[in-house]
Amino acid sequence: MAEFTLDLNEDQKQVRDWLNGFAKDVMRPAAAEWDEREETPWPVIQEAAKLGIYSLDFYAQQFFDPTGLGIPMAMEELFWGDAGIALSIVGTGLAAVGVLANGTEEQIGTWIPQMYGDADDVKVAAFCSSEPDAGSDVASMRTRAVYDEAKDEWVLGGTKTWATNGGIANVHVVVAVVDAELGSRGHASFIVPPGTPGLSQGQKFKKHGIRASHTAEVVLENVRVPGHCLLGGKERLDERLARARERARSGGGRSETGEGPGRVKNAAMATFEASRPAVGAMAVGTARAAYEEALEYAMTREQFGRPIIDNQGVAFQLADMRTQIDAARLLVWRASWMATTKRPFTSAEGSMSKLFASETAKKVTAQAVQILGGNGFTREYPVERMHRDAAIYTIFEGTSEIQRLVIARTLSGMPIR
């Protein structure tokens, strides 16, 4: 019987240390500047591309790590460096996951390389799902895709919001409604190639945190894309829609946020299912960074003639912070291992990992600010930025409330609302 171990192997340790060095030496010195500028840190992305960190090959190697730990380990180290810059580096990955989750082998091979470009000509991609009136409620999506059979083209129209790299991306992956009567089961994903007429950037958002990451609306006005830009192809879509219609007629089916056998896959949900543990790992990285700053401060800051860590009120907070971070990491690793080894999330383990890690990041960064006191409330110390950044983890790619809903529905089998 194989020995059970939670130790990283030597290759994983080398990658971890390499990423940690990049995060420490390149990302952290630039973090405050790009947070203030609220602009995409192209020089840092270019440096990551030159080193091979921002590349299809690197993420493919981590994605195909047989233990499942390659991606969460990479996410933790990069987000330990800085969440805003890290999201600019890894944001393309969500669009890539959208293609991997829904596309054919030919589509994967054609479009994902174009999302990254190369070290001399860096590109980014955007995944466009949320809308002004449809965030967690994906069934309320209004962006439509209509098939023009005569031209073998899909015509897209609508407005997307909260899109990382939206409008500045080389390739956009857009989720749209193809059959409104089926609700979220009538959605499909489309590639919008670079330079396609009708796609434009709408409002760019000024955010509370992760300010180095570009977030904007994407406006689609009579956007025409070739038939081969439908991820998965029309034959597969028609088969899926037929199954969904049959289930609707027979009164079967489950909500798009439910888990369970027989569920008709939704294009956006398939992407988010695959990315939840990775988001949990991002949260772990931010929490760990804040904890380490707080620990160092508590050991060197003196009050009443002794380091403040000598006080149980501070020491016990740090003990709880570290315990919660380690517990969050273990949940992320379990979910990542299950996904890689094709074990079903029978208890919504992916959502569990994202939920716990996200809430941990919010709590730990808040405690770090408290331990640093007045200094923690200033931009002279990074925990203030980390606390702002951590707020996003409980919101994007499924709020904490939605994760709890998924978990509750999965455990009970009931249509909890």
Which residues are known catalytic residues? Answer: 397
C-alpha 276/C-alpha 76 separation (Å) is 13
What sign does the dihedral 341-98-127-349 (CA atoms) show? negative
Phi, psi (5° rounding) for residue 118? -145, -175
Could you say which DSSP state residue 180 is in? G
C-alpha 382/C-alpha 364 separation (Å) is 14
- Which H/E stretch holds residue 177? strand 171-177
The angle at the Cα of 175, spanning 135 to 261, to the nearest 5 degrees, equals: 80
By the 8 A CB rule, do 204 and 215 touch? yes
In 3D, which of 310, 288, 300, 302 has the Cα closest to residue 368?
288
As a whole number of Å, the CA-based R_g of the chain is 22
Q: SS3 of 347, please?
A: coil
Beta bridge partners of 126: 172
C-alpha 130/C-alpha 132 separation (Å) is 7
In 3D, which of 90, 81, 43 has the Cα closest to residue 382?
81
C-alpha 289/C-alpha 299 separation (Å) is 16
Residue 199 tokens, joined: 């796609």
DSSP character string of 258-273? ---TTPPPPHHHHHHH
Distances (CA, A) of 42 to 76, 119, 142, 206, 218: 21, 11, 33, 18, 21
C-alpha 393/C-alpha 101 separation (Å) is 22
State in Å, rounded, how far the first CA of the chain is from the last one: 44
